[in-house]
Amino acid sequence: MLLSEYQWSRNPRGMHNFSAAARMDLGKLVQMHMGWAKLVTLGPDYLDLVEEMLKNGITPIVRVWRPRFGAGAPTSDLVGIWRAFFERGVRWFEFYNEPNLDNEWQEGHLPDWRDMEGTIIPILQNWLAFAEIIIGMGGYPAFPALSESVGIHYDVSRWLDVMMNYLAEQHYDRFRGIAQNGLWVATHPYIYNHFYQEGANPLDARAAGAQRAWEPGWRFEYPYDPITQASKPGITSISGPADAPLGDPVGLVGMGYAFMKKFEMLFGGGAIPVVGTEGGINPVPKFPGEYHQLDTRFPGYSYESHGEATVAMFNWIAQSAPPWMFGVTLWKEDEYYVGDTGVTAVRRLSESPPIYKNVPPLEPFGGIDPRERLKGPGPIHGTPDLHFVILAPGFQGDWFFEQGRAYYERFRPILLPSVDYLAYIPYERSVGVTLLTPPGMSEFMKAQISERYPYIWIDLLPIDQPEQVGQILNARAASGRKFG
């Protein structure tokens, strides 16, 4: 399936139901212009409701709840429930929920990413069966949403890595078959205050009270945003410096990027949908005067600004997020419907029309067999993992160090004496190159790199006077931009 062939509303706004035993209020979903509804259900309880949702442009996602399900297998009872929902128009299904957390397993079982035989293998074997059942019906099965937790046995980065590696080593063709026929990725992006709206420049964040949903400058791409990159240069959702070697996926698109990177590395993957089936800007402030600032690198958010930021988040997904990011279902109804009118996000979403996402016809696979890769670095997902400066033959090196010192001190790029050294960068890392050349050599040097290393981002700077180095590079340093 192409990315554009998945059936959904194209509206990234969504809400998660209060509980499996509580019926969602369709009127409130319509009032807030929702495009997704996440339904956790005990059985075929809401068949009439999903039909009404679809009539109102709301795409339902269904997960059947079973207590402490662990690595449970698809049963005839579950298959019957899935089929009943499918016959009423549901296409999007989840099976497991946060299997890296203790409370999703039987008492006494510790779900550990290092426990292959008792945890990882049973989950994935039963998940493969679920996925093939759903595809056989004509539906879309979700890769399990993991809790974005950091710790010893439940660490989200370790879990994703082990799961994807096991599938690649033991079920390569089977998983590729699922990915070609309706697979999507469920994530749980509780983003806290990992976002901001720019002020005077990319590193200047507006205070909560100055944020406006429909004004430009919103940054939801954590950890690829300028503030994060300035504080931890080169960090990605799967890799980073010594104090964060596994990266930081705790943002709106972090786990989506992490999955896509491993999908590409291990399976030659391209693009499949990602939907946050729990999440949003949490905790939700319910009363005037509340203010939350978990990460002090970013401004916090208030009771009033939470509504602005929530509208902006959905607008950003529609307009600026990667094409595979389809939306988020906010956690959850009772957190937002507080009092007579609900929190400020309810009011702002109700009075703001949604922006619909234009989805390009991207392939689920990138056409590259991971077993036959080119030498050198691989594709960039967000921000390059490594940043090099290459001085072309004929370029005077002292120009860079004398005139571009502020840039060098700010970003600490690695100076390479030759293009040939790029062959030693592993495919799992991505590279951006700032290439300083005399004007007459610019296109020649760019072609030399592009032909040998097609995934490298080339930041080309033709320079013929020393003062140009300082003017260009130091202006970038002042605004926090590595690349032009």
Q: What is the pLDDT of residue 367?
A: 62
Question: Contact at 8 Å (CB) between 434 and 390?
Answer: yes
Q: What is the pLDDT of residue 253?
A: 97
Going by their DSSP bridges, the two strands 196-197 and 218-219 should be labelled as: antiparallel
* Rounded CA separation 273/256 (Å): 9
- List phi, psi (to 5°) of 471: -60, -45
Residue in 466, 348, 373, 473 with CA at minimum distance from that of residue 423: 373
- List phi, psi (to 5°) of 365: -130, 145
* Residue that the structure tokens 């879990």 belong to: 159
Going by their DSSP bridges, the two strands 184-187 and 196-197 should be labelled as: unpaired
Contacts of 329 (CB under 8 A, 6+ apart): 14, 15, 16, 36, 37, 38, 61, 275, 276, 277, 278, 279
Consecutive H or E run containing 243: none
What is the set of domains in the chain, with CATH numbers?
3-351 (3.20.20.80), 373-479 (3.40.50)
Retrieve residue 137's tokens. Answer: 């019906």
In eight-state DSSP terms, residue 375 is: S
* Rounded CA separation 402/61 (Å): 58
Residues 20-45, buried b or exposed e (16+ Cβ, 10 A)? beeebebebbeebbbbbbbbbbeebe
- List, for the chain, all residue ranges whose pLDDT scores fall below the cut of 70: 367-375, 382, 394
Burial class (CB in 10 A: 0-12, 13-18, 19+), 124: buried
**How confident is the model over 107-118, as pLDDT tens digits?**
999 999 999 999
Q: What is the pLDDT of residue 374?
A: 57
Alpha-helix residue ranges (DSSP H) falling in 97-146: 121-137
* Rounded CA separation 257/274 (Å): 9
* Rounded CA separation 390/408 (Å): 13
In eight-state DSSP terms, residue 404 is: S
Question: Contact at 8 Å (CB) between 38 and 16?
Answer: yes
Q: Which residues pair with 269 in a beta bridge?
A: 365
Q: Position 147: which residue type?
A: S
Question: Contact at 8 Å (CB) between 319 and 213?
Answer: no
**How confident is the model over 13-55, as pLDDT tens digits?**
999 999 998 999 999 999 999 999 999 999 998 999 999 999 9
* Rounded CA separation 135/127 (Å): 12
Question: Contact at 8 Å (CB) between 284 and 190?
Answer: no
CA max distance for the chain = 75
Strand spans (E) along 95-240: 140-143, 184-187, 196-197, 218-219
Alpha-helix residue ranges (DSSP H) falling in 337-465: 344-351, 397-403, 405-411, 442-452
Q: Which residues pair with 461 in a beta bridge?
A: 436
* Rounded CA separation 379/261 (Å): 9
Sign of CA dihedral 173, 179, 180, 182: positive
